[in-house]
Amino acid sequence: MAAAPMIKPDRELLMRFYTTMARIHESDKAIQRGLSAGELQFQYYPAGGQEAIPAGIAPLLTPDDHAVITYRCIHDIVAKGTPLREIMAEMYGKAAGTSKGKGGPMQLSDPHSGLMVTTGIVGAGLPIANGLALASQLRGTGHVTVVSFGDGATSTGAFHEALTLASIWKLPVIFVCQNNQYAEYTALAEYTLSDNFAKKAAAYEMPGVRVDGNDPAAVHDAAKVAIDRARRGDGPTLIEAVCHRLQGHAFGSDEAHMDKSALAAARKSAPLILLRARLLAGKICTEAELAAVDASARAEVDDAIEYARATPLPTADELHDDVFASTAHIPELDTRAPAKAVGTPAPAAGTRQMTFGAAINEALDIALGRDERVVLMGEDIADPAGGVVKTTYGLSTKYGRERVRPTPIAETAIVGAAVGAALAGMRPVAEIMINDFLAVCMDQVTNHAAKLRYMSGGRTNVPLTIRTVTAGFVGSFGAQHSQSLEAWLAHTPGLKIVYPTTPHEAKGLLLSCIDDDDPCIFFEPMRCNFSSGPVPEGHYTIPLGVADTKRAGKDLTIISYGWPLVESLSAAEKLAKDGIDAEVLDLRSIVPLDRPAILESVGRTKRALVVHAAVEFAGFGAELATLIHQNLHGALKAPVGRVGARYTPVPFSQALEGLHFPTEARILEAARALVR
């Protein structure tokens, strides 16, 4: 396994390993002391037995090289160089912590030291590391990203997707599997027949190296080859560092699932004990020198703990900070008075006509042209295909495949790469072909894109855009290609959700999303894709969170977005013939939400009907109905009505599909019932 070190490590390097490992060990012990005393109360995943791995890698990295790590974090954080005071303050949930007390040990970031993500989701770091590496590759900085994960993470789909993408894109990323023999309460042999994870690398055509993770010098040597290779532009490496977890999964958790004799042996030959013995046996240093290192590590940790104890807790105003760049976009904090929808002036007469799809293509073209940070990624998006509905046609030819990047069919890898690139300051636009496919990458969207700003206490942010088609009611696309899943997304704080209907707005809203400092999900209704409208030339934006009155009226407000807005407008014309004057309000985005416009319109018409393509039950309409009832209860002439899709999967047969989705007929019926 562990090849003899190629380079005889010098004294300075060995002492550096020892110092880092001593600092890790003291930090880990101090946290466990706090937990033992009941002073700290959280689930803590100790790092005993794994100290040598990051200690071996650390001297090869600068703060501009990125790290992505897991909940079993303290060894990786300390080695990367995050100040101990900030780490401990975070453990104590204090405002001076790395994440202002909002991340905790499982979810902290420290971009100053290059620690970009800590994730509590097994396997999720790998796809994000790809994105950070992509940013370095595109900028030609020569920086690398090192992502650590456990042996258990090799069973996840994210592992497979990430290695697939890293390999085809030759990303400067080093995958470090810290094989501590256990995944939670399950021993390795019980969850896999593999006895060697490094060899999995061969399947991805990348080098796979297995090293003794107890020996920082061995890890260092393997990492040096991998990092040099990545810096040269020769692509990723998978390193398996074999070690042994020296305690149960978490602080206080039982060890019944662990092999007692192996555990006892591993404790006797713990990495720090081995290194100490080696340093003394080789006369590299004296006992007194090591004792001085230990004492100084202990003093540094004690100081950090004292600091953490003394420093204040976060104040209540921190609660809503760092959800978005601005608290103004948080629905529950919006206390603005009702105000008429500001909307957007319609394009001047004679403005050229183009389809919704062409308008999106033009927005992407403009964004790529004016901002070097913009990079597109998704399945089939490059020419000659140019996207499954040709939305991105021509862009890879114009801007090259570096910036318009076709991907494998790996949604988790796509969104993960976009998250990572966004963390590094790029403006990625990822395409998830059909929004139903968000289901296979939802972890990256809702646990990472949405939350990283908050979990990092605002130290990082994720300015990415995900474009995704809603293919409902275009005819027989069936249950898995036709949904409208905006309510899933709206339920996770941290995502902006944009849903245009016209070509003019599609272009302006998409350009706003790309400029936005927060993650935006941009829905493209396929039913609108081929309809035309006037679209102004050049760059312009339409702000998010500003509704538009598509038809003024006085008897009823129909609130909608996406393709059902079109049916709502035609219904309104029919209603007019019956003497019912309906106002049609297009929300255009549901987060941020134009609360003042909704309340002003319904406050005037005193009747509201919400129409959306999503299933009515637990759909976004429920939120709108509540908003209206709570604010306008006394003024309403009827309870808020809702027309959404029926509570069924989307049926294939067009005979049934027409019964599932909201139609003009259903809108008319509901509107008449309200006004009657």
Ligand X SMILES: Cc1ncc(C[n+]2csc(CCOP(=O)(O)OP(=O)(O)O)c2C)c(N)n1
Q: Which residues bind ligand X (CB under 6 A)?
A: 72, 120-122, 149-153, 180, 182-184
Q: Closest distance between other proteins and the C-beta of residue 182, in Å?
A: 17
Binding partner of residue 182 among ligand X, other proteins, none, CB under 5 to 8 Å per kind? ligand X
Instruction: Give min distance, CB of 259 to ligand X, in A.
Output: 15
Taking Cα atoms as reference points, which of 413, 425, 491 lies closest to residue 463? 425
Q: Letter for the amino acid at 237? A: T
Query: What secondary structure, in 3-state letters, does 288-314 show?
Result: HHHHHHHHHHHHHHHHHHHHHHHCCCC
Task: Answer yes or no: are the C-beta atoms of 35 and 86 closer than 8 Å.
Answer: no
Query: How many Cβ atoms are within 10 Å of 371's Cβ, its own excluded?
Result: 14
By CB under 8 A, which span of 230-238, 245-253, 462-470, 537-545 interacts with other proteins? 245-253
> Strand order of the sheet with strand 115-119?
115-119, 66-70, 145-150, 173-179, 237-242, 208-212
Q: Is 86 helix (H, G, I), strand (E, B) or coil?
A: helix
| Burial per residue of 461-482, b for 16 or more beta-carbon CB atoms within 10 angstroms, e otherwise | bbbbbbbbbbbbbbeebeeebb
Q: Please give the angle made by the CA atoms of 59, 63 and 64, to the nearest 5 degrees.
A: 115
Smaller CB distance to other proteins: residue 178 or 247?
A: 247
Cα 330 to Cα 310: distance, rounded to the nearest angstrom: 32
Position among 192, 194, 253, 663 found at the interface with other proteins (CB under 8 A)? 253
Burial class (CB in 10 A: 0-12, 13-18, 19+), 331: middle
Q: Which does 150 bind (CB under 5 to 8 A by kind): ligand X, other proteins, none?
A: ligand X
Among 2, 15, 19, 42, binds other proteins (CB under 8 A): 42
Q: Which does 153 bind (CB under 5 to 8 A by kind): other proteins, ligand X, none?
A: ligand X
CB of 43 to other proteins, least distance (A): 5
| Options 6-14, 32-40, 175-183, 232-240: segment touching other proteins (CB under 8 A) | 32-40
Q: In the complex with other proteins, which residue's Cβ is closer, 32 or 461? A: 32
* Angle (deg, nearest 10), helices 411-423 and 157-168: 70
Q: Binding to other proteins by residue 273, rule CB under 8 A? A: no
Q: Which is nearer to ligand X, 179 or 396 (CB)?
A: 179
432 three-state secondary structure: strand
Q: Which is nearer to ligand X, 257 or 278 (CB)?
A: 257
Residue closest to ligand X, measured at CB: 150
Of 190, 203, 202, 196, nearest to 241 by C-alpha is 196
Half-sphere exposure of 65 (CA within 13 A, CB side): 22
* Widest pairwise Cα distance in the chain: 98
Q: Which is nearer to other proteins, 35 or 423 (CB)?
A: 35
Q: Considering the complex, what minimum distance in angstroms separates the CB of residue 120 from other proteins? A: 12
| Least gap, CB of 208 to ligand X (angstroms) | 17
Partner from ligand X, other proteins, none binding residue 36, C-beta < 5-8 Å depending on class? other proteins
Decide whether 34 or 216 has the Cβ nearer to other proteins.
34
Name the binder of 39 from ligand X, other proteins, none, CB < 5-8 A by kind: other proteins
Of the two residues 150 and 406, which places its CB atom closer to ligand X in the complex?
150
What is the total count of residues that contact other proteins (CB under 8 A)? 16
Nearer of residues 174 and 675 to ligand X, judged by Cβ:
174
Spatial separation of the C-alpha atoms in residues 132 and 137, rounded to whole Å? 9
From other proteins, ligand X, none, interface partner of 34 (C-beta below 5 to 8 A by class) = other proteins
The DSSP annotation for 635-647 comes to T-SSPPEEEEE-S
The stretch near other proteins (CB under 8 A) out of 37-45, 67-75, 589-597, 631-639 is 37-45
How far apart are CB 97 and other proteins at their closest, in Å? 19
Q: Which of other proteins, ligand X, none does residue 180 bind to, with CB < 5 to 8 Å depending on kind?
A: ligand X
Binds other proteins (CB under 8 A): choice among 4, 37, 193, 349: 37
d(CA 288, CA 652): 77
41 binds other proteins (CB under 8 A): yes
Q: Taking the complex as a whole, how short is the minimal distance between the CB of residue 158 and ligand X, in angstroms?
A: 8
Return the ∠ at Cα 520 (arms to 481 and 620), rounded to 5°.
60
Q: Which of 25, 75, 329, 481 is catalytic?
A: 481
- What are the C-alpha distances in Å from 516 to residues 421, 544, 592? 15, 9, 12
What residue 251 binds from other proteins, ligand X, none (CB within 5 to 8 A, per partner kind)? other proteins
How far is it, in rounded angstroms, from Cα 14 to Cα 263? 26
Candidates 1, 7, 39, 479; binder of other proteins (CB under 8 A) is 39
Q: DSSP letter at 361?
A: H
Give the three-state DSSP class for 135. Answer: helix
CB of 107 to other proteins, least distance (A): 16
Active site residue 75: no
Q: Which one of residues 228, 254, 287, 578 is an interface residue with other proteins (CB under 8 A)?
A: 254
Identity of the residue, 41 or 630, whose beta carbon is nearer to other proteins in the bound complex:
41
> What is the rounded distance in angstroms from the CA atom of residue 131 to the CA atom of residue 416?
7
**Binding status of residue 35 toward other proteins by CB under 8 A:** yes
Q: Which residues contact 626 (CB under 8 A, 6 or more apart)?
A: none
Shortest separation between residue 214's beta carbon and other proteins, angstroms: 22
Check residue 650 and report its DSSP letter: P
Q: Is 260 in the site for other proteins (CB under 8 A)?
A: no
Would you say 556 and 584 are in contact if contact means Cβ atoms under 8 Å apart?
no
Within 8 A by CB and 6+ apart from 661, the residues are 472, 473, 564, 613, 645, 650
Q: Is the preceding peptide bond at 493 cis, omega within 30 degrees of 0?
A: no
38 sits near other proteins (criterion: CB under 8 A): yes
- Of the listed pieces 13-21, 201-209, 221-229, 248-256, which binds other proteins according to CB under 8 A? 248-256
Q: Quick one: which segment of 247-255, 378-386, 544-552, 644-652 binds other proteins (CB under 8 A)?
A: 247-255
Torsion of CA 613, 618, 620, 625, to 10 degrees: 110
121 binds, among ligand X, other proteins, none (CB under 5 to 8 A by kind): ligand X
Q: Closest CB to other proteins among 41 and 335?
A: 41
Give yes or no for residue 251 binding other proteins (CB under 8 A): yes
Q: Shortest Cβ distance from residue 482 to ligand X (Å)?
A: 28
CB closer to other proteins, 35 vs 497: 35
8 A C-beta contact, residue 564 and residue 642: no
89 DSSP 8-state letter: H
In whole angstroms, how close is the CB of 257 to ligand X at the nearest point?
12
193 binds other proteins (CB under 8 A): no
Active site residues: 481
| Residue ranges in contact with other proteins by CB under 8 A | 29, 32-39, 41-43, 251-254
